[in-house]
């Protein structure tokens, strides 16, 4: 395991992050407390120090488990949580959203469950299209100045909101976002259109979730499913484009004698020319996580990357194809990235 500075900060984090949405069975699927602890210990033994959760994951069970797991090693853990989401059955209009009220309530709830005085990274989980950007950024900065949060980041939000938020923060001397979480995988490269370029411009880390697409990129849906699974095959809505990607990943898996999951993880890991990429691993068992972590032992060849890039390619559309190398813009070199993240 190697370590990186998280975006434009001095915070040192492992090159892989452990996602804990699977910690707890409250939502009808996920890992028991014992299995969750096995995953936690396995990740630390591999050199991992970056742990991701949320105030709403498994209705708080994820944070509660982590609060127990981290007690004897809090100083060595980089702990990230999120606020924003409302429970579907809530009748309290302020129980969710991006408001300062919900921000404060959520952070206090998280700190109690996590049994800690502060969290290292607090994400805004999803943009609500209602709360003023300045309210969010000033509220987050107050939490940083108050010592309850060390750094702030954002997840699943529009590129223009991220840009406005960071601009306001820099102009006002507030804490700006150092990372952005997004769904990103071989089967879903949509964020390459706007969010990843924004992250590159602002020197923010990109933390992809859903990198195995609910198990699709492990190859498990290529065979008969046995036992419990979070998503049934008929709910996946896979098309011909997706099947071509899966088949290519399967072929490379055979050639490298590595699992399809490792192939998919390493494709994400090796996208560093686009931005600083720190994949989030999410597993249901220690055995699955052990396989995922073995991706650190090797890398895809240039030829394998080329094949996967080609089969999974999407049309980036306007403005990418309009401005890149445009002969009417003197010296246009948009396609030449001037910063390569390490």
Q: Are 217 and 243 in contact (CB under 8 A)?
A: no
pLDDT of 23 higher than 90: yes
- 329 assigned to some structural domain: no
- 161 assigned to some structural domain: yes
* Percent of the chain topping pLDDT 90: 84
- 250 assigned to some structural domain: yes
Domain CATH code at residue 159? 3.20.20.100
> 123 an active-site residue?
no
* pLDDT value at residue 232: 53
Give pLDDT tens digits for 147-176: 999 999 999 999 999 999 999 999 999 999
- 330 assigned to some structural domain: no
Annotated catalytic residue: which of 57, 83, 123, 184? 57
Domain assignment of residue 168, given as a range: 3-323
- 206 assigned to some structural domain: yes
Give pLDDT tens digits for 84-119: 998 878 899 999 999 999 999 999 999 999 999 999
* pLDDT value at residue 233: 55
Domain tally, the chain: 1
- 278 assigned to some structural domain: yes
- 81 assigned to some structural domain: yes
Its pTM stands at 0.92
- 341 assigned to some structural domain: no
Quick one: CA dihedral 38, 40, 41, 47, positive or negative? positive
pLDDT of 286 higher than 90: yes
């Amino acid at each position: 395991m190697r370590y990186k500075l998280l975006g434009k900060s001095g915070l040192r984090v492992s090159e892989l992050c452990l996602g804990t949405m699977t910690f707890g069975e409250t939502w009808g699927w996920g890992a028991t407390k014992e299995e969750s602890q096995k995953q936690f210990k396995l990740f630390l033994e591999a050199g991992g120090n970056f742990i991701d959760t949320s105030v709403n994951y498994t209705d708080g069970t994820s944070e509660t488990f982590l609060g127990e797991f981290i007690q004897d090693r809090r100083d060595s853990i980089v702990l990230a949580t999120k606020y924003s989401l409302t429970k579907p059955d809530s009748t309290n209009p302020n129980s969710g959203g991006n408001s300062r009220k919900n921000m404060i309530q959520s952070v206090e709830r998280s700190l109690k469950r996590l049994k800690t005085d502060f969290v290292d990274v607090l994400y805004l989980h999803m943009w609500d299209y209602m709360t003023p950007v300045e309210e969010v950024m000033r509220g987050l900065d107050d939490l940083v100045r108050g010592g309850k949060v060390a750094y702030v980041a954002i997840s699943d939000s529009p590129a223009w909101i991220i840009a406005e938020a960071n601009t306001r923060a820099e102009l006002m001397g507030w804490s700006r976002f150092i990372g952005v979480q997004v769904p990103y995988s071989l089967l879903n490269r949509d964020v390459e259109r706007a969010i990843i370029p924004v992250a590159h411009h602002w020197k923010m880390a990109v933390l992809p979730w859903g990198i195995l697409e609910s198990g699709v990129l492990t190859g498990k849906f290529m065979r008969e499913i046995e036992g419990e699974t979070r998503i049934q095959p008929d709910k996946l809505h896979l098309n011909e484009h997706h099947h071509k990607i899966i088949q290519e990943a399967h072929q490379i898996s055979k050639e490298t004698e590595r699992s399809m999951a490792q192939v998919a993880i390493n494709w994400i890991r090796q996208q560093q020319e686009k931005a600083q990429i720190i994949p989030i691993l999410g597993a249901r068992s220690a055995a699955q996580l052990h396989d995922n972590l073995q991706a650190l032992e090797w890398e895809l060849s240039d030829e394998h990357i080329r094949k996967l890039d080609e089969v999974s390619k999407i049309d980036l559309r306007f403005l990418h194809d309009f401005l890149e190398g445009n002969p009417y813009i003197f010296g246009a070199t948009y396609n030449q990235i001037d910063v390569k993240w390490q």
